[in-house]
Amino acid sequence: MARVTHVKKAQQRYETVVVRDADGAPVRTPVMKTVRDRETGESTQVQKTTKTGRPVFMTQSVADRSKPKEPYTCDFCRKPIEVGTPYKHITPKSGPYGGTKKTRHESCPTWQVWEYSNSLSAQLAQIAHSFNEGLDGVESTDDVSSLLSEAAEEVRSIAEQKRESASAMEDGFGQATSVSEQLEETADSLDEWADEIEQADVPDIDDCEDCDGTGQVDVEDEDVPVDGEQEECTTCSGSGEDMDAWRDKVRDEVTIVDESPV
C-alpha cells in the first residue's frame, strides 16, 4: 500500500523560477555522490557523471512569492485544502496514478487500495469491501444471497480477464509460457472461489431473545395498574427478530468473500 503522509498545516505554495546569474544564465550546481575506497575504507565526494562521462548538474530554482499557486484539492470531497488546514497525501509508485500526488483533508476518509491501484489484490479487496458494506442494509437471507452472487460474478469477471491475458500472451509468443500458465492457474482458482462464494451457507434469522420472538415484552413501569400489560420490544421494534444480532452473525460466519485463494 502507498504510504500516507500527514501534514499538520497546509502551506501556501508558489511557482518556482530558475535562479540566474548576472549574465542571465541559469545557475547550476554539481550533483555529488559518495565514493568509498575499497582498500582504505575512506569516503570522498565526487561529481556524478552520465554513462558517457558527462558531469551532472542541477539547475537551481526558488519559489516566486509573486506567483502563488492554487491550493491542493481534496480528491474525496473535491474542496480546496486551505492554508493552515491539516491534510494528508500519497504518491502511488505504480498503477493508474503511479507517480501522481493525491491529497485529502485529514478529516476525509483515507484511500482504499483500489482507489490508486488496479492490482489483483486491490480488485479483490474492493469486492470484499463492497460485500461487507452491503451487509449493513440486508433484511433477509435472500438479500445476503444476492450480495454473494454479485461478489461471485465480479470474481468470475476478473478470472475471465486473466484468461484473456493468458490467451493474448500465448498468441503473441506462439506457445504457452510460464506466465500464461500462471494466469490460467489464477483464473481457475478464482472460478473455484466464486463457486464457493455463491454456495456459502447463510445463517437463519433468530428470534429476538428479549421477547422470545413475540415482539412484545411486559411493561415494567411501576405506575401501570394492569398486571401483564405489554409493550413493543425495543430490541426488535416489534418484529420478533433481532436483525442487528443476525447481521453480526452473518459477518462472523460468512467470511468466504474475505478469503481470497490468490
For residues 100 and 125, state if they share a domain.
no
More confident residue, 110 or 217: 110
For residues 168 and 88, state if they share a domain.
no
For residues 109 and 181, state if they share a domain.
no
Please write the tens of the pLDDT for every residue from 50-69.
Answer: 999 999 999 999 999 999 99
The pLDDT score that the predictor gives to residue 76 is: 96
The pLDDT score that the predictor gives to residue 226 is: 56
Q: Examine residue 13 and state whether it is found in any structural domain, yes or no.
A: yes
Q: Examine residue 217 and state whether it is found in any structural domain, yes or no.
A: no
For residues 27 and 107, state if they share a domain.
yes
The pLDDT score that the predictor gives to residue 223 is: 58
Dist CA 138 CA 190 (whole Å): 26
Number of domains in the chain: 2
Please write the tens of the pLDDT for every residue from 146-188.
Answer: 999 999 999 999 999 999 999 999 999 988 899 999 999 999 9
Q: Scanning the structure block, which residue is given the C-alpha cell 493474448?
A: 168
Residue 242 — pLDDT band, cuts 50, 70, 90?
confident
For residues 60 and 136, state if they share a domain.
no
Tell if the pTM clears 0.75, that is, is over it.
Answer: no
Q: Examine residue 211 and state whether it is found in any structural domain, yes or no.
A: no
For residues 56 and 154, state if they share a domain.
no
Sign of CA dihedral 174, 177, 179, 184: positive
Count Cβ neighbours within 10 Å for each residue of 130-153 and write b for 16 or more, e otherwise: ebbebbeebeeeeebbebbebbbe
Q: Examine residue 100 and state whether it is found in any structural domain, yes or no.
A: yes
Q: Which domain holds residue 152?
A: 120-204+252-258
| Pairing status of strand 14-18 against strand 102-105 | unpaired
Per-residue pLDDT, averaged over 204-217, amounts to 74
The pLDDT score that the predictor gives to residue 19 is: 94
For residues 93 and 129, state if they share a domain.
no
In the predicted model, is pLDDT for residue 110 greater than 60? yes
In the predicted model, is pLDDT for residue 39 greater than 90? no
Q: Examine residue 83 and state whether it is found in any structural domain, yes or no.
A: yes
For residues 105 and 177, state if they share a domain.
no
Among residues 115, 150, 177, which one ends one of the domains? 115
Q: Examine residue 246 and state whether it is found in any structural domain, yes or no.
A: no
Percent with pLDDT over 90 in the chain: 73
Lowest mean pLDDT among 13-27, 92-106, 228-242: 228-242
Among residues 87, 115, 143, which one ends one of the domains? 115
The pLDDT score that the predictor gives to residue 240 is: 63
For residues 47 and 80, state if they share a domain.
yes
In the predicted model, is pLDDT for residue 119 greater than 60? yes
Dist CA 249 CA 236 (whole Å): 16
For residues 62 and 106, state if they share a domain.
yes
The pLDDT score that the predictor gives to residue 157 is: 97
Mean of the per-residue pLDDT values of the chain: 90
The pLDDT score that the predictor gives to residue 97 is: 75
For residues 101 and 143, state if they share a domain.
no
Q: Scanning the structure block, which residue is given the C-alpha cell 486473466?
A: 162
Q: Examine residue 240 and state whether it is found in any structural domain, yes or no.
A: no
Q: Examine residue 171 and state whether it is found in any structural domain, yes or no.
A: yes
The pLDDT score that the predictor gives to residue 233 is: 74
In the predicted model, is pLDDT for residue 221 greater than 70? no
Among residues 82, 115, 148, which one ends one of the domains? 115
More confident residue, 191 or 40: 191
- The three three-digit cell numbers of residue 6, written as one number: 500527514
Dist CA 139 CA 146 (whole Å): 12
For residues 74 and 94, state if they share a domain.
yes
Show Cβ contacts of residue 200 under 8 Å, excluding neighbours closer than 6 positions: 148, 254, 256
The pLDDT score that the predictor gives to residue 93 is: 84
Residue 83 — pLDDT band, cuts 50, 70, 90?
very high
The pLDDT score that the predictor gives to residue 236 is: 67
